[in-house]
Structure 1
Amino acid sequence: MITKTLDVPGARLHYELRGSGPLVLLVGAPMDAVAFAPLADRLAADHTVLTTDPRGINRSTVDDRDQDSTPQLRAADLVELLTHVDAGPAAVFGSSGGAVSALALVQARPDLVHTLVAHEPPLIQLLDDRAEIRARVEDYTATYLAGDVVGAWREFFAAADIEVPDAVLQQMVGGERDPQVVADERFWFEHEMRASDFWEPDLDVLAASRTRIVVGVGEQSAGQLCTRTCAALAGALGTAPTPFPGDHTGFVDDPAGFAERLRPLLG
């Protein structure tokens, strides 16, 4: 694995390259390169795999930590990375906010992406009840910024229709925590999450794009918010969601099974 840093406007991006073969970019937001490493290792058997920490997260630093990390800004970072690596056009797998970044990338530079697998993008603007969901997002963001971390995550999971027992929640975010994790979490709540959730894709541009777009959804995500956003996005593009192992973090929980399902879609 090769680890490097790339200077981009307003930030320095940590990125990693492994393997050989056709280029695949794995991208998250706020998930970083560490979260994608097990999946990347498996895909590297027959691909060159590019992973990165999104701006402001973990090893990717920003000049102004008060600046919002928007999908357009993160897409511009991905353009810089793909142009710098110069091994494309690439297949791109984006998950959650990373899927939003990747959709913005395809809108801006479809020539750099031949295939996009957009896994569970939280595009609430595509839903009929978006005003209600936006209000809930603003509420739990305010709860977090007021210092109630456990309460904010409790509201977050409730709004996402994900059941997390309170004992598990306390174990996740209660008590003493790694300072870097806390810093990344705060940056996400304060400057990244709302920009991703509230972003509205240009469906006409995406539908007409030369890029093949696959909308992925977790087999265990039934009833969750992102199953609804995926159905809305896929329907608008004239397709149906493609099932993947696990739920919203299936690529972390079952990287081997996820790689097996993802690999045939990368051609």
Structure 2
Amino acid sequence: MTTMSLAVPGARLHYEVRGTGPLVLLTGAPMDARAFEPLAGLLARDHTVLTTDPRGINRSPVDDPGRDSTPAGRADDLARLLTHLDAGPAVALGSSGGAVSVLALAQLRPDLVHTVIAHEPPLEDLLPDRDQLAAATEDMIATYLAGDVAGAWRQFLKIANIELPPGAVEQIFLADRSPQAVADEHFQFAHMLRHTARWRPDLDRLRSVPTRIVVGIGAESAGQLCDRAARALADALGVAPTMFPGDHVGFVAQPAAFEQCLRVLLEAHCRA
């Protein structure tokens, strides 16, 4: 693995490159490159795999920590990374907020990505209860900024329709209160989450670009917000959703099974 950084307007992006072969980009938001390490290692057997920390998160510092991170801005960052590597066009798989980023990338620079896989994008604005979701999201952000971190995470899970056992909030979200973890968390709630959830894709643009758009859903995510949003996106684009193993973070919990599903998509493109 090679670790480098790239200066972009207003930030310096940490990125990692593994393997050789056709280029695959794996990205999240707010998840950083660490979440994709197991999957990236498997794909790197015969692919060049690019992972990155999104601006404002972990090893990708921003010049102005008070400036919001938008899908369009993150798409521009990804476009600059892909152009810098000059190894495309690429497959771009984004999960959660990263799925929103790669959809925005397909709109911005379809020449850089021949396939975009949007895995569980939290596109609240595509859903019929968008107004209630927007209000709940604003209340959650306000709860966090008022200092009730545990309460904000519980609201996050409620909005996402994710049920966890008692004590899981403290174990998953509050165990690491290191300065970097707290800074990343604050940036997510204060400057990333709202713009990601409220972003509305240009559906006409996505239907017209040469990039193949794949909408991914975790097999164990039924009824969750991202399951509903992904299905709404697939329906609007006129494509059938692709089921992946696991839930919202199946690539973390089941990287080998997730890789097998992803390789089916990669091989289908090679035969096309």
Report the TM-score, using the length of structure 1 for normalisation.
Answer: 0.98
- Cross-structure match for 2:90: 90
- Cross-structure match for 1:35: 35
Alpha-carbon deviations, 1:72-119, whole Å to 9, x = none?
000000010000000000000000000000000000110000001100
SS in 1 for 2:18: strand
CA contact (8 A) 1:149 1:173 kept: no
Alignment of 1:89-238 (within 5 A): 89-174=89-174, 177-238=177-238
| Structure 2 letter corresponding to 1:187 | F
Q: CA deviation at 1:175?
A: 5.8
SS in 2 for 1:62: coil
Aligned partners of 2:62, 2:89: CA distance in 1, in Å?
27
SS in 2 for 1:226: helix
How many residue pairs align between the two structures?
267
Q: CA deviation at 1:166?
A: 3.2
- Cross-structure match for 2:66: 66
Aligned partners of 1:241, 1:210: CA distance in 2, in Å?
18
- Cross-structure match for 1:18: 18
Which ranges of structure 2 fall in alignment gaps of 5 or more residues? none
Matched, 1:55 2:63: no
Which ranges of structure 1 fall in alignment gaps of 5 or more residues? none
CA contact (8 A) 1:32 1:54 kept: yes
SS in 2 for 1:163: coil
Could you list the runs of 4 or more consecutive aligned residues of structure 1 that deviate by over 6 angstroms after TM superposition?
A: none
Q: CA deviation at 1:240?
A: 1.5
Aligned partners of 1:180, 1:255: CA distance in 2, in Å?
26
Alpha-carbon deviations, 1:174-205, whole Å to 9, x = none?
46622211110110000001110000000000
Aligned partners of 2:172, 2:90: CA distance in 1, in Å?
35
Q: CA deviation at 1:167?
A: 1.0
- Cross-structure match for 2:2: 2
- Residue 37 to residue 174, structure 1, CA distance change in 2 (3 Å): closer
Aligned partners of 2:225, 2:243: CA distance in 1, in Å?
15
Aligned partners of 2:84, 2:251: CA distance in 1, in Å?
26
- Residue 177 to residue 88, structure 1, CA distance change in 2 (3 Å): same
Aligned partners of 1:241, 1:230: CA distance in 2, in Å?
8
| Structure 1 letter corresponding to 2:79 | V
SS in 1 for 2:162: coil
CA contact (8 A) 1:216 1:241 kept: yes
- Cross-structure match for 1:260: 260
**What is the aligned-residue identity percentage?**
65
Alpha-carbon deviations, 1:23-60, whole Å to 9, x = none?
00001000011110110000001100000000000000
Report the TM-score, using the length of structure 2 for normalisation.
Answer: 0.96
Aligned partners of 2:174, 2:219: CA distance in 1, in Å?
29
SS in 2 for 1:28: strand
CA contact (8 A) 1:102 1:118 kept: yes
Alpha-carbon deviations, 1:194-245, whole Å to 9, x = none?
1100000000000111000110000000010111101110001111211001
Aligned partners of 1:84, 1:233: CA distance in 2, in Å?
30
CA contact (8 A) 1:245 1:257 kept: yes
- Cross-structure match for 1:239: 239
Aligned partners of 1:6, 1:210: CA distance in 2, in Å?
28
CA contact (8 A) 1:69 1:191 kept: yes
| Structure 2 letter corresponding to 1:124 | E
SS in 2 for 1:106: helix
SS in 1 for 2:29: coil
